[in-house]
Chain A
Amino acid sequence: MMTRTTIRKSFLLLLHCACTSIASAQAPGKLRLMVDPGAGFEFVLDHRFRMQQREVELAPGPHHFSFWAPTRRVTDTTITVQSGVMKDFYIRLPYSPEYIAYNKQLSQWQAKRNLQRRLPILATAGAGVWTLVRYAKLKDAKEVLDGDRERYRLTAVPSDITKLKEVTIPQHKEEFRSERGKFYMAAGISLACAGVSYYLYRRTGKQEKPQFNDPEKVRFDGLVWLPGTDGGQWATQLSMTIGK
């Protein structure tokens, strides 16, 4: 759907081409733009027209292009258009230094966050496995004691009963208590790890992710007239070098 702004821009471009063609009395040439990145790029033609299309029809002669895409650097170039010729133009827009710095910062932030989150979770998982192992051992010790109790109930050999009560059961009781102590320790450590993990997970969740404010976009926006709903605005920048 063509907006009012697009119609106005196309009209101005056609007018520009027509004027130049009439002035030079030559047929216009075509440029097919092959830009990396393939999507989202924009360009400013001859310091006046901000466009997004992949093909432009221009009057013969040199034309200035300023290309830009999100996260990429504004790249200026001049292309000479030949009359009645379709020309392919390839360009790869380099990443802006700010984006590279941002990427590095983001990677560091993610690595730190991952470390703060994964390490305690790994510790919790390890402690959990250890707790399960201790639990299994405790269960085994309990089953041994239950077996002793059952043997006591069923045996009809008095010497077995004496041995059970004086040797076997006290020994198995000691083992059971030892296993229970180990299990409580493992479970306590697991709970502590889980608590720390939960706390760190919540805390890292509140950490602010680095944001990328594309300064190249500001620069690119400043190159031309930006039409808006209330008539538009002129955006530009002024820099001054102060020397000795």
Chain B
Amino acid sequence: MRTSILLLASVLFLAACHKDDVDIATLTTNPMDADYSGQAVLMEVDTVHTEVTVWSIHEQHVTVRVHPGHFPSPAPYEVWCIEENVPDTIKGYSSQHPDNRFELENYQVALGTEYCYRIQLRVADVVIREERVCAIAQL
């Protein structure tokens, strides 16, 4: 009889191990989550520089590096570069950049003018990361 009572108490003890449920507020560890609180390791803006083409047109190049190794699991993604001054968007797809390095080109920039861009990392049409970068077009 005492053994049965002890057995029941043990079951209760085991059940105590299951008392913790999921606290949604603490779910911020997935880099794809909008509430992600870790370091921004998925994407970084490498360089912004201006070049002159053979037709003497000035182009501003924004180089972005993506780190898909930090994704929770492999997924196709896109890098969008939205120019703020002119509503123009340049898109780059992961399938076209196996080295994960994107060079986004803004044609016909005026030297001495500052251009601002919103660089977005998108997965399944959702913005995962967004960074803003501004640079003056100069040679």
Interface residues of A (CB under 8 A from B): 124, 128, 131-132, 135, 138-139, 142, 145, 148-149, 152-159, 161-162, 165, 169-170, 172-173, 176-177, 180, 183-184, 187, 190-191, 194-195, 197-198, 201
At the interface, yes or no: B12 with Cβ under 8 Å from chain A?
yes
Q: What residues of chain A lie closer than 8 Å to B19, measured between beta carbons?
A: 180
A158 touches B33 (CB 8 A): yes
A153 touches B30 (CB 8 A): yes
Q: What residues of chain A lie closer than 8 Å to B27, measured between beta carbons?
A: 149, 152, 165, 169
B15 touches A135 (CB 8 A): yes
B32 touches A161 (CB 8 A): yes
Residues in B85-139 with C-beta less than 8 Å from chain A? 123-124, 126, 128
Partner of B8, one of A128, A165, A170: A128
In the assembled complex, the Cα of A165 lies from the Cα of B22 at a distance in Å of 10
In the assembled complex, the Cα of A183 lies from the Cα of B18 at a distance in Å of 11
What per-residue 1/0 map shows which CB atoms of B19-48 lie under 8 Å from chain A? 101101001011011110000000000000
In the assembled complex, the Cα of A149 lies from the Cα of B126 at a distance in Å of 21
What total count of A-B pairs have CB within 8 Å?
Answer: 94
Partner of B126, one of A152, A159, A187, A194: A159
Nearest A residue (CB) for B19 = A180
Q: What residues of chain B lie closer than 8 Å to A169, measured between beta carbons?
A: 22, 24, 27
Q: Apart from A145-B21, A156-B32, A184-B15, what are 11 other A-B pairs with CB-CB below 8 Å?
A: A128-B8, A131-B8, A138-B15, A155-B72, A155-B73, A159-B124, A180-B19, A190-B8, A194-B1, A198-B2, A198-B5
A194 touches B8 (CB 8 A): yes
In the assembled complex, the Cα of A134 lies from the Cα of B15 at a distance in Å of 10
Q: Can you list 7 A-B contacts with CB-CB less than 8 angstroms, sorted by A residue number?
A: A128-B8, A152-B27, A156-B74, A158-B33, A158-B123, A169-B27, A187-B11
Partner of A157, one of B8, B12, B34, B124: B124
Q: What residues of chain B lie closer than 8 Å to A155, measured between beta carbons?
A: 30, 32, 72-73
Q: What residues of chain A lie closer than 8 Å to B128, measured between beta carbons?
A: 158
B15 touches A177 (CB 8 A): no
In the assembled complex, the Cα of A201 lies from the Cα of B27 at a distance in Å of 52
In the assembled complex, the Cα of A156 lies from the Cα of B32 at a distance in Å of 6
Interface residues of B (CB under 8 A from A): 1-2, 4-5, 7-9, 11-12, 14-15, 18-19, 21-22, 24, 27, 29-30, 32-35, 71-75, 123-124, 126, 128
Q: What residues of chain A lie closer than 8 Å to B4, measured between beta carbons?
A: 124, 128, 194, 197
Distance between B27 CB and nearest chain A CB, rounded to angstroms = 6
Nearest A residue (CB) for B127 = A158
Q: What residues of chain A lie closer than 8 Å to B11, measured between beta carbons?
A: 131-132, 135, 187
Contacts A138-B15, A194-B1 given; does A187 touch B22 at CB 8 Å: no
Q: What residues of chain A lie closer than 8 Å to B24, measured between beta carbons?
A: 165, 169-170
Q: What residues of chain B lie closer than 8 Å to A197, measured between beta carbons?
A: 1, 4
A152 touches B30 (CB 8 A): yes
Partner of A195, one of B5, B21, B72: B5
B71 touches A156 (CB 8 A): yes
Top 10 closest pairs, chain A to chain B, by CB: A156-B75, A158-B126, A142-B18, A156-B73, A194-B5, A198-B1, A161-B33, A156-B72, A156-B71, A154-B72
